[in-house]
Chains A and B, each alone.
Chain A
């Protein structure tokens, strides 16, 4: 099928849906959007309506209902489906179903086998170790035997003492768990056995599997990422550099991302920062080639204060922060890189058309996640109506938002209160920080709740943290 004949179903909402629609328009591809009743006022709905009326828009009961999404895809005669991030983006069963059903669709993401292989954190860790890629010290398989568990915990405490870590910590977690469920940390080997038993019992109760993972608990680290893109068949794998996502909320959700991941030209690190970036990029590419990775993906790393990198996990999807990598990337010297458009193009079978040597990097980028929340109250989400939202237009600023700027907007309570992504480019760290601060101070964001409470946002938090980026 000719690439231009494809029709992409945008199986997501909000800002990412807007960006997928924009990428489709850039590539000359037809598209169809979905929305739920709560999202009727969202920018992605308006965009789809403006682009083609109701034929490009279907109201659904939920973004989580695979049957419904596929029924809509058939009715709209879509040939490909873009899951965005969240929802079905990393669900290998969905990706497999999409590609195997009678009316086959192209899943715009890695193939289901890759998602399955790298979606399993234990499997990823084992694969990484087999390739000599450093991972967080600890077990790479579920532990079912108490004696073995204690032996691993003892060796982890000993390992940390050898590294002069002041307060060694060991993490005990249910291997079948996720999202922070069934995790406890231990600071004393004498307490280990009781914690181990507690987690094992929890795991049996909740996951019907008493397997437990035991790892070193690493504190005081920077969170880095490597952006990978590979064409179908894995013939050509490239990277779009690194990002530093260390500024997060207390719930460990990212709030600021900076590309590249370190800046040795402006900051003195205890270690060779450039070498660390090179190492994590090389390791990420090695793993991508080994698993025959075939779309966009992010290799997530933690780098300790001493400069030791450990692979955490692989996110087999496009990420929120892809735009900040795009901001500093140049393909054959050209600006305007759009990683989402590249993702769609390659997923539809187009060759990349360039190699790693054609990709260069210029300057620094910072991405701010503008969210209606109260950072002083444990980042509690704020609910209400946005009455005015605006910013100054600059050639170094890119805004991605689904919030209308010409009308009021009620934040739906069904989803996270993310409002926009502001991506700022500067030729170096100082210019980037300066422009970032200018952008945030010029931002207009006002609103109120039913209880007459003034809009709460994280803008002041972002402004304060701008000075701390890339530091330990």
Chain B
């Protein structure tokens, strides 16, 4: 049984997530003039996240400038200004920021420890089978109940796709930890499943985080 109080205390001791913003591809990097450590920056906002996050940098290749936007609200810790105006390679660290965890993120973190995690057997790209994918896209994952041995994933690697069966207790898909066309390493969780006997505990996690977690203004 998960000790929710202990986990909450542990998260409260360091309520931050450190986000490293890297160059998504090679190109010449330009930082805005006014961007310094300590500055507060904002991620996308609006009901549908329709408003972009703050501009952190611009990456230019073949005369095409690509804005690099702030992914989440946070505080700038490091700006690698020494790279300004230089050609950087894909994956180069550009900015580091500290993000204060929101209630939803804390719930997600705790549930990752509580739920039954079904993990990737191999490094590959994973997709839900079309019938499950549609349900999740329309109504969210919580409407999909899965059983042991049920084929719910397509594993794609080396240009080949193979079906993958779920193994574990029957339950509702409570969390999805992978995204479209992204590689998932072996052993990393794909989904978190909530069996019926765990529903009460999950509800308690949500309730306690809602009441006990103080959102930073």
Which A residues are within 8 Å of any B CB, using their own CB? 36-38, 58-62, 65, 67-68, 70-72, 75, 380-381, 383, 413-417, 449-451
Q: With A59-B91, A61-B90, A71-B61 in contact, is A413–B121 under 8 Å at CB?
A: no
Cβ of A69 to closest chain B Cβ, rounded Å: 9
In angstroms, Cα B157 to Cα A450, docked, is: 15
Cβ of A359 to closest chain B Cβ, rounded Å: 36
Which A-chain residue is minimally distant from B25 (CB atoms)? A61
Our pick among A380, A413, A449 for the contact of B124 (Cβ within 8 Å) is A413
Which B residues are within 8 Å of any A CB, using their own CB? 24-28, 61-62, 64, 87, 89-91, 121-124, 157-160, 162, 183, 186-187
Inter-chain contact A71/B62, CB cutoff 8 Å: yes
In angstroms, Cα B124 to Cα A1, docked, is: 46
Which B-chain residue is minimally distant from A66 (CB atoms)? B62
Inter-chain contact B160/A71, CB cutoff 8 Å: no
A61 proximity list for chain B (CB < 8 A)? 24-26, 90-91
B24 proximity list for chain A (CB < 8 A)? 61
In angstroms, Cα B187 to Cα A449, docked, is: 13
Q: What are 10 inter-chain pairs, A to B, with CB distance below 8 A?
A: A60-B89, A60-B90, A62-B25, A67-B25, A383-B123, A383-B157, A383-B158, A413-B123, A414-B158, A414-B183
Inter-chain contact A59/B121, CB cutoff 8 Å: no
Cβ of A452 to closest chain B Cβ, rounded Å: 12
Cβ of A62 to closest chain B Cβ, rounded Å: 8
Which A-chain residue is minimally distant from B90 (CB atoms)? A61
Inter-chain contact B122/A383, CB cutoff 8 Å: yes
A70 proximity list for chain B (CB < 8 A)? 61-62
Inter-chain contact B160/A59, CB cutoff 8 Å: no
Cβ of B124 to closest chain A Cβ, rounded Å: 6
Cβ of A415 to closest chain B Cβ, rounded Å: 7
In angstroms, Cα B61 to Cα A58, docked, is: 14
Our pick among A68, A71, A413, A450 for the contact of B158 (Cβ within 8 Å) is A413
In angstroms, Cα B89 to Cα A68, docked, is: 10
Inter-chain contact B157/A413, CB cutoff 8 Å: yes
Beyond the given A60-B89, A380-B160, A381-B160, please list 17 additional residue pairs across the A-B interface where CB-CB is below 8 A.
A59-B26, A59-B91, A60-B25, A61-B24, A61-B25, A68-B25, A68-B26, A68-B61, A71-B61, A75-B26, A381-B158, A383-B122, A413-B123, A413-B124, A413-B157, A414-B183, A451-B122
In angstroms, Cα B64 to Cα A67, docked, is: 9
Our pick among A37, A65, A68, A414 for the contact of B91 (Cβ within 8 Å) is A37
Inter-chain contact B89/A58, CB cutoff 8 Å: yes
CB-based closest 8 A-B pairs: A71-B61, A61-B25, A381-B158, A413-B157, A61-B90, A59-B89, A75-B87, A67-B62
Which B-chain residue is minimally distant from A34 (CB atoms)? B26
Cβ of B75 to closest chain A Cβ, rounded Å: 27
